[in-house]
Homo-oligomer: A and B are copies of this chain.
Amino acid sequence: MRNLKLLLTYDGSRYRGWQRLKGTDNTIQGKLETALTRILDEPVELIASGRTDAGVHALGQVANFHCQSSMDCREILSELRRYLPGDIGVLSCEEASARFHARYNARRKTYLYRVWNSSAPCVFIRGQVYRLETPLNIDAMKEAAAHFLGTHDFRAFCTGKGSGKSTVRTIDALTVTRQGQEVQIRIRADGFLYNMVRIITGTLLEVGMADHPLTAGDIPGILETQTRSYAGYTVPAQGLTLVEVEY
């Protein structure tokens, strides 16, 4: 069996997320598996670095799959590009080692969250940003961001019942930058809990809002409580992009 690795980009706007769902083919995984199964003439199952939610985008999602076909990687790539809809793109297709597993072997991931912080129109990128007109104090957000760096239990910054699995993660980069009317939050970690980027972003935004009581100094305390309700809101999926997966 060959093991092939795909580097993918997609505009998640139209899709119900990465994961294949029964009763709809409107998922990224579904579209890709259907195309691959047709091209290779054998059933294909994709393993992604992680499942992106409905509306979340990717610049560099990684997935692998096993197959018996002897079709050349370049031919698979060009066939995929012919079959896939315009909002799912394959950047590369290459042979991986037999043991490569896109999820288990992921060492680090980088996400970008884009906020359109203006009442001005943003027609061309409207599907990739979260519109928020409230003025933001970027310095306060940067100060808050620093408290997330390092290894912490992020239980307060995730959604879910806590299945007993570890909620400890290590964030090694978290930047907040303003470029004109857009505020970008970029976060890199060894792994992410469910909704972790969106809740950390919501918390940073609350710190940045003048009329919100949350301040940068509150972050360590919230981490300690391990209680979701003390953290900020979950920002919408459409502003989120999976940028890179490192192995």
Interface residues of A, Cβ cutoff 8 Å to B = 9-11, 57, 78, 81, 86-91, 119-126, 128
Cα A121 to Cα B90 in complex, Å, equals 7
| Bound: A76/B12 CA distance, A | 34
Q: Please judge, given known A-B contacts A86-B126, A87-B126, A126-B87, whether A121 and B9 are in contact too, CB under 8 Å.
A: yes
* Interface class of chain A by DSSP: loop
CA distance A124 to B59 in the complex (A): 10
Task: Please name the residue on chain B nearest to A122 by beta carbon.
Answer: B89
Give chain B residues whose Cβ lies under 8 Å from the Cβ of A88: 121, 123
Nearest B residue to A125 via CB reads B124
Which residue of chain B is the closest to A131 with respect to CB atoms?
B86
Residues of B within 8 A of A81 (CB): 119, 121
- For the complex, what is the distance from the CA of A10 to the CA of B128, rounded to whole Å? 16
Cα-based distance from A27 to B11 in the complex (angstroms): 25
Given A81-B119, A88-B123, A89-B122, 6 more A-B residue pairs with CB atoms under 8 Å apart are: A10-B123, A11-B126, A88-B121, A91-B120, A91-B121, A124-B125
Name the 6 nearest CB pairs between A and B, nearest first: A89-B121, A86-B126, A89-B123, A11-B123, A87-B123, A9-B123
CB distance from A52 to the nearest CB of B (A): 14
| Chain B min CB distance to A146 (Å) | 31
A121 to B87, CA, bound (A): 9
With both beta carbons as reference points, the residue of chain B lying nearest to A12 in the complex is identified as: B123
Kindly list chain B residues whose C-beta atoms are within 8 Å of the C-beta of A87.
123, 126
> Bound state CA distance, A32 and B66, in angstroms?
53
Residue ID in chain B nearest A241 by CB atoms = B124
Q: Which residue of B lies closest to A126 (CB)?
A: B86
Cα A145 to Cα B78 in complex, Å, equals: 33
Instruction: List 14 A-B pairs, Cβ < 8 Å.
Output: A9-B121, A9-B123, A10-B123, A11-B123, A78-B119, A81-B119, A81-B121, A86-B123, A86-B126, A88-B121, A89-B121, A90-B121, A124-B125, A124-B128
